[in-house]
Amino acid sequence: MIIELFLLAIITLLAGTIVPLLAVSVNRRYIRTISLCCPIFASLFLGALSLVVLFSGETSGFTLYQPITEFSFSFVIDRLASFFLLIIAIVSACVALYFSEYVEHMDGSSRRNILCGFTSLFILAMVLVVSSANSFCFFLFWELMAASSFFLVTFEYTHDETKKAGLFYFFMTQLSSLFVLLGIIMLYLESGSFAIAPIHGASTLPITAAFLVLFIGFSIKAGIIPFHKWLPYAHPESPSPISALMSGVMLKIAIYGLIRFLLDVFTPDLWWGALILAAGITSAVLGVIYALKEHDIKGMLAYSSIENIGIIFTGIGLWVIFSASNLPLLATISLLGALFHSLNHALFKSLLFLTSGSVVHATHTRDIEHMGGLAHRMPYTSALFFIGAVSISALPPLNGFASEFLIFTAFFTSVAFVSPLFKVLLFICLALFALASTLSAACFVKAFGSIFLALPRSPQSEVAKEVPRAMLIGPGILAAACILLGVCAFQIFGIVGFNVPLPDMFLISLLLLGMGVLVYVVLYVTASREVRVSETWGCGSRSQQASSEYTGHGFSEPIDIIFSAIYRTRTKNERVFFDLKNCIFREGTGEIHLLKVFEEYLYNPISQLFMQVATKVSRFQNGCLDTYLLYVFVTVIALIIFLGWFA
């Protein structure tokens, strides 16, 4: 049954890809609706099959086509794969629901058909990556995923920003594929097959090298710092539902790859875990610190994705450390934390991207400084965004808390077991982890406050309207899932068969609700019920103005100053005075220059190096036939000498 469902899902997604491409010149709504219905149906099939596999725990596999003996297109669906299939299914269904309305408000006439087709193809590629049974198959679909997402990112290819983002994305994603391919080839040389199967023996140099190469490949795709730069470029420029898919699901595919190879192929060393942990913590802290500084709503969400991927990597790192030091219970908690956070991040991040898409749609700007006051104008969108914000800030009783709680618990209980040196490392990581967690709360207070609260700060947000109902259903389902997974986290883990040390969040939620209701009733009976809506104190001005509000920049200013060493903000003041004693100011200039550390110190030097090498190499290619004949001649001579020497 599982295989039939799987094939059905694939065929549906293929249909969703082909239909709009066949009717590419027909600018009709029904074509796009049909195309986007396919992912929804496919998600239903995938969701059903992954739930069956998750509960029953049985693994099923099949081979679709075997061109040569060493390689076949075969697929395996086990519990891990089905978990990630579930993530893909939930998010794609909600995104497609939202997209079917969103796409009608976009520019691009019949070209939008292609967008819908490629969305299906992108989802299909992700499904196939997750269910691939061998590493070469994995790589092929990985590449399909990269290519199809590139076309989605560059949909608005006429904009200069989008062009730059697309190129950046294409380069980074190809770099990632290159590393993954290299890793797979190294594994093939070591084991002699493409099967994703354990490599026996100690971790020798080639195996370690293969791990490192794969790790870099997956890190680039997942957006781990310092390979993160493509996220803040690509996410803001792509259509919001596509950002939701990429951030919510595609990054998780990289996580899946890492977990799959660590679990099934390698026998990890302790220091591998320390490496993953360090990468994760760095990304978590720096990601959220940069997110606080970002005032492009989608750029902020992109940086926050980097933070959350960091949290997931932290969980994975802890899992590797604990399993290498023979602490199976703690290892399970950390891995479950990482996996659960993958699911949760997929839910709340796609929720946030979709609702921010609605906000951008309503206000025609991505700058949060030009928003404000939207809570009155877009009540439903603001409520949905709010649920996402609470979840991502890891506040109880929603789902973000449940997964971070597992990782915290692993940290807290681990220190009694590992060696002293690791204890110190874990304590430092714990402190940084906590820092990232609270900074993300600060970041989303700022975001929600600037976008939705107080007075509108621009004419566009003054006249913003609530989005059509169809654009609320998809995010609504995601928000409901966030609440459900948070409140019933303990019960859900129980049903799936893991006994985790989570507090009973259902009880806590009931207590919270009970206390709230009790206080309300007591107040209703005893206190004054009078309510007046009236101007409050505004420093003596007659009525409040948007210009006197605290802006997003103002909100994050204290954090800017405290972490100025990380932001590397350069301020420059030049003043000219009338008098010699510098008392009477005449004129002056002041500028604040935000240093993009990674871009200026890492990316640009490397790209310059490549450009230099490329300039030198390009001299060989001068377009003159004689030179090419010379090359051929030299090559033939060299070949003859070489063969003569060895034959």
Partner 1 sequence: MNVDFILYIAINTLVVLAIAPLFVSMIKKVKAWTQGRSGPSVFQTYASLRKLLTKEVIYSPSSSRIMRITPLITIASILVAALFVPLIFVPEPVGGIGNIILFLYLLALARFFMALAGLDAGSSFGGMGSSREMSISAIIEPTTIIVFAALAFVFKTLNIFDMVSRMAPGLPAAPTLILISISLFIILIVETSRIPIDNPETHLELTMIHEGMILEQSGRNLALMELAAAVKLTVLMGLLINLIVPLGLATSLTLIGILIAVILFVIKGSILAGIIAIFESSMAKKRFFQLPSLFAMAFFFSTLIIIIEVFS
Site for partner 1 in 424-443 (CB under 8 A): 424, 427, 430-435, 437-439, 441-442
CA distances from 622 to 613, 618, 632 (A): 16, 7, 15
Burial class from Cβ neighbours inside 10 Å (0-12, 13-18, 19+) for residue 518 reads: exposed
Structure tokens at 372: 């404000």
Question: Min. distance of Cβ 538 from partner 1 in angstroms?
Answer: 6
Quote the least distance from Cβ 464 to partner 1, whole Å. Answer: 14
- How many residues contact partner 1, by CB under 8 A? 83
**Virtual torsion, Cα 153, 154, 156, 161, nearest 10 deg:** 90
413 binds partner 1 (CB under 8 A): yes
Single residue of 117, 166, 257, 396 touching partner 1 by CB under 8 A: 396
Nearer to partner 1, 120 or 551 (CB): 551
- Answer for which of 1, 539, 614, 647 binds partner 1 (CB under 8 A) is 539
* Tokens 């058909």, located at residue: 113
State the amino acid at position 232 in one-letter form.
P
366 Cβ neighbours under 8 A, 6+ residues apart? 236, 296, 297, 298, 299, 360
Measured in degrees and rounded to the nearest 5, phi and psi for residue 615 equal -60, -40
Q: Which is nearer to partner 1, 132 or 556 (CB)?
A: 556
Relative to beta strand 71-77, strand 60-68 is antiparallel
415 scored as a contact of partner 1 (CB under 8 A)? yes
Angle between helices 297-324 and 328-363 (to 10 degrees): 170
> By C-beta, is 511 or 629 nearer to partner 1?
511
Under the criterion CB under 8 A, does residue 537 sit at the interface with partner 1? yes
Distance in angstroms (rounded) separating the CA atoms of residues 553 and 368: 10
Query: Given the complex with partner 1, which of 30 and 524 has the nearer CB atom?
Result: 524
**Which value, to the nearest 10 degrees, does the dihedral of the CA atoms of residues 362, 241, 249, 342 take?**
20
How far apart are CB 121 and partner 1 at their closest, in Å? Answer: 40
Whichever of 115 and 292 has its CB closer to partner 1, that residue is: 292
Interaction between residue 542 and partner 1 (CB under 8 A): no
Q: Which of 352, 254, 251, 266 is nearest to 301 (CA)?
A: 352
Q: Which is nearer to partner 1, 126 or 429 (CB)?
A: 429
Tell whether residue 511 is a contact of partner 1 (CB under 8 A).
Answer: yes
User: At closest approach, how far in Å is the CB of 127 from partner 1?
Assistant: 35
Residue number, 46 or 285, with CB nearest to partner 1: 285
Of positions 202, 205, 533, 584, contacts partner 1 by CB under 8 A? 533
Supply the minimum distance, in Å, between the C-beta of residue 520 and partner 1. Answer: 6
Applying CB under 8 A, among 28, 159, 164, 376 the residue interacting with partner 1 is: 376
Cβ closer to partner 1: 7 or 270? 270
Task: Look at residues 145, 2, 222, 92 and name the one whose alpha carbon lies nearest to residue 137.
Answer: 145
Query: x-or-dash pattern for partner 1, window 469-508, by CB under 8 A?
Result: ---------------------x----------xxxx--xx
Looking at beta carbons only, is 43 or 409 nearer to partner 1? 409
Rounded to the nearest whole angstrom, what is the least distance from the CB of residue 582 to partner 1 in the complex?
26
Nearest alpha carbon to residue 184 among 125, 265, 288: 265
Q: Per-residue contact track with partner 1, 552 to 571, x per CB under 8 A?
A: --xxxxxx-xx---------
Residues 340 and 309 sit within 8 Å (Cβ to Cβ): no
Binding partner 1 (rule: CB under 8 A), the pick from 11, 114, 147, 445 is 445
Which residue stretch of 177-185, 314-322, 388-396, 474-482 sits at the interface with partner 1 (rule: CB under 8 A)? 388-396
Tell me how far apart the terminal alpha carbons of the chain are, to the nearest angstrom.
59
Question: In this complex, which beta carbon is closest to partner 1, that of residue 251 or of residue 406?
Answer: 406
Q: What is 397-418 written as a DSSP string?
A: TSHHHHHHHHHHHHHHHHTTTS
> Which 260-319 positions form the footprint of partner 1 (CB under 8 A)?
none
Q: Compute the least distance from the CB of residue 370 to partner 1, in Å.
A: 15
From 3-11, 40-48, 188-196, 417-425, span contacting partner 1 (CB under 8 A): 417-425
| Alpha-carbon distances of 444 from 392, 551, 552, rounded to whole Å | 8, 14, 11
Output the CA–CA distances (angstroms, integers) from residue 599 to 229, 281, 535, 572, in the order listed.
8, 20, 47, 21
- Least spacing, CB of residue 525 vs partner 1, in Å: 11
Name residues contacting partner 1, limited to 448-467 (CB under 8 A). Answer: 448-450, 452-455
Convert residues 567-606 into a mask of x (bound to partner 1 by CB under 8 A) and - (unbound): ----------------------------------------
Is residue 535 a contact point for partner 1 (CB under 8 A)? yes
Residue 380: φ, ψ to 5°: -70, -45
Radius of gyration of the chain, Cα coordinates, nearest whole angstrom: 27
Among 55, 520, 585, 628, binds partner 1 (CB under 8 A): 520
User: Cα separation of 92 and 171, whole Å?
Assistant: 25
Bridge partners (DSSP) of residue 75 are 62, 132
CA distance 139 to 142: 5
Residue type (1 letter), 554? G
For the segment 184-223, give every residue that binds partner 1 (CB under 8 A). Answer: none
Q: CA nearest 289: which of 392, 434, 429, 443?
A: 443
Lay out the site mask for partner 1 across 130-169 (x = CB under 8 A, - = otherwise): ----------------------------------------
